[in-house]
Amino acid sequence: MNRIGILTAGGDTPALNATIYGAVIRANQLRVEVFGFIKGFNGLLNPEAPHVHLNPLLIPIPELDPARGGTILGASRDYVGSDDREIVLQAVSRLKRLQIDGLICVGGDGTLNGMMNLADHIPVVLAPKTIDNDLGLNYPDEVNEWVRSDENDPKSCRKEPGRPFRLEEMINYVTPGYASAVYVTSRSVQRIRTTAESHRRIAIIEVMGRDSGMIALGTAYGQPDLIMVPEVPIDPEILAEKVIRLIEIQKHALMVVSEGVRDASGRFLGDVTAGTDPAGNLIYRGAAETVKNMLVDQLSDHYFIGKRRHESAEAAIFVRKVGHDQRGGRPIRFDRLQAALLGAKAVELLLERRYSEIATLSYRDGGLEVESVESHKLRDRYGVIHYRPMAPSFYDAERMQPSAQGVEYLRTIFTNSVSHGDIEAILPMFSTGNLVQPYHSVNVDVHKRIRRLKP
């Protein structure tokens, strides 16, 4: 191959530029040109196919900084659908007009599905990313645990209980972006803790995690008192008992809750809006507020006014949502390194003609190694790729904390995950120049490099 393309699709993460950087550096070594497509699959759907030459003369453009969060190529949640063959052929035609020999897609399960719609026409591979850390399998035969009560109704699909497994069995141990997101949520817990502690209140912090509790699990590094995840239903009475026990001892409590948590009936505690995002995912809001209301009902004003000297249960409990802070900002060392290695691996997969594969990280001998897996191995018997749930063995439901295996899983990722460079990057925050100079967006410089096809 002489020229390959790369795009970043779906939601942004802190590690996307690092993935692109790793791909470009490896392509330079192999003397391959790299064109980056603007705004993910949206760029392929555009008749002009806006793109940037990322390594003219086999040198990375200066805007490509692996320590910069987000993606200089832009991202969107547009996808190439399987139901419109004409649009697929048009996208492929644009790639061929640019003499693109293969395409790297950086994304999660939605990106993988969109990528595979191009696979019959052009070589494609995936470099994984998602802050939710839900792309892959806990063990190879986990795909067989998805069953339907009605073979013809995808909505009737459910996952049967899994089996014990070793960390070495995991397919795609961790995805770039996850570590930086956990760094943000853990710091948020530490900062909000002092407010709850000072005012003798109960804090409930909501983190991302629609179907997987991996971000909440990792937030254990911030030392929350209780962690609630989508995989384990919440029992209001048991939760209230645990909170009272904490308050009696330390006069306050702090909890972390995933946005997708459910009750014993399987009902989502967060409000589900009428619509979905462009990738087809339900949008959940208000899980932490619902948990607060649970506690208000269980504990009542009498407890807080009579014993804790608060105005009311409502006043004693407050909610904070970390939100999009989890997606943005500088990636920490772990994400910069592993994302770059996976981007490089994606280039190698194309040149080795291992098409439709996914670059992955695997647990080997106590550390992580870069490998790959054929994408079809992530599909269930119905051809569907599902999110990877947090393994029940990672979570101690009684303590509402990581289990021993969960601790071992997290330790592998986060030991030495932050570098001195990450600490030093904080220092320029209070530079006087920030007060007198406007922010300069990298988009301004990248826009000057964009080239377009003539429709």
Note whether residue 289 is domain-resident. yes
Helix or strand holding residue 253 (H, E): strand 253-258
Tell me, yes or no, whether 379 and 297 share the same domain.
no
Query: What's the pLDDT band for 284 if we cut at 50, 70, 90?
Result: low
Q: What tens digit of pLDDT does each residue of 393-421 get?
A: 999 999 999 999 999 999 999 999 999 99
Tell me, yes or no, whether 198 and 277 share the same domain.
yes
Q: What share of the chain is helix, strand, coil (3-state, %, to 5)?
A: 40, 20, 40
Question: In CATH, what number is assigned to the domain containing residue 233?
Answer: 3.40.50.460
Tell me, yes or no, whether 101 and 213 share the same domain.
no
List, in sequence order, the alpha helices (H) in 307-418.
313-316, 333-351, 404-414
Query: What's the pLDDT band for 308 if we cut at 50, 70, 90?
Result: low
Note whether residue 152 is domain-resident. no
Note whether residue 420 is domain-resident. no
Question: In CATH, what number is assigned to the domain containing residue 82?
Answer: 3.40.50.450
Tell me, yes or no, whether 304 and 337 share the same domain.
no
Q: Count how many residues are written for the chain.
A: 455
Q: What tens digit of pLDDT does each residue of 98-134 get?
A: 999 999 999 998 899 889 999 999 999 999 999 999 9
pLDDT at 274 > cutoff 50: no
Query: Among the three residues 359, 385, 411, which one is the final residue of a domain in this structure?
Result: 385
Taking phi over 0 as left and psi of -120 to 50 as alpha, with beta for the rest, 49 belongs to left
Note whether residue 432 is domain-resident. no
Tell me, yes or no, whether 117 and 77 share the same domain.
yes
For 35, which DSSP code? E
The Cβ of residue 119 has, within 10 Å, a number of other Cβ atoms equal to 14
% the chain with pLDDT above 90: 85
Tell me, yes or no, whether 282 and 380 share the same domain.
no
Which residue range forms the structural domain that includes residue 298? 189-326
pLDDT at 279 > cutoff 50: yes
Would you call 451 helix, strand, or coil by DSSP? strand
Structure confidence at residue 283 (pLDDT): 58
Instruction: Give 359's contacts (C-beta < 8 A, 6+ positions apart).
Output: 125, 126, 127, 128, 342, 343, 345, 346, 349, 370, 371, 372
* Residue closest to 77 by CA, chosen among 37, 40, 129: 40
Distance CA 205, CA 189 (A): 7
Q: How large is the average pLDDT for residues 53-69?
A: 97
Tell me, yes or no, whether 292 and 342 share the same domain.
no
pTM of the model: 0.94
Contact 308, 247 (CB under 8 A): yes
Let me know if 78 is a catalytic residue.
no
Note whether residue 410 is domain-resident. no
Q: What tens digit of pLDDT does each residue of 184-206 get?
A: 999 999 999 999 999 999 999 99
Q: How large is the average pLDDT for residues 245-260?
A: 95
Angle at 100 between CA 94 and CA 103, to 5 degrees: 100
Note whether residue 435 is domain-resident. no
Contact 216, 228 (CB under 8 A): yes
Tell me, yes or no, whether 348 and 380 share the same domain.
yes
Tell me, yes or no, whether 336 and 318 share the same domain.
no
Tell me, yes or no, whether 250 and 136 share the same domain.
no
Tell me, yes or no, whether 210 and 282 share the same domain.
yes
Tell me, yes or no, whether 309 and 373 share the same domain.
no
Note whether residue 82 is domain-resident. yes
Query: Among the three residues 308, 326, 344, which one is the final residue of a domain in this structure?
Result: 326
Say how many domains are in the chain. 2
Note whether residue 84 is domain-resident. yes
Structure confidence at residue 277 (pLDDT): 57
Structure confidence at residue 302 (pLDDT): 75
Residue with tokens 């967060």: 270
Catalytic residue, chosen from 78, 132, 134, 422, is: 132
The Cβ of residue 214 has, within 10 Å, a number of other Cβ atoms equal to 33
Query: Among the three residues 309, 326, 343, which one is the final residue of a domain in this structure?
Result: 326
Distance CA 229, CA 133 (A): 14
Contact 292, 299 (CB under 8 A): no
Distance CA 1, CA 71 (A): 25
* Residue closest to 127 by CA, chosen among 270, 286, 8, 246: 8
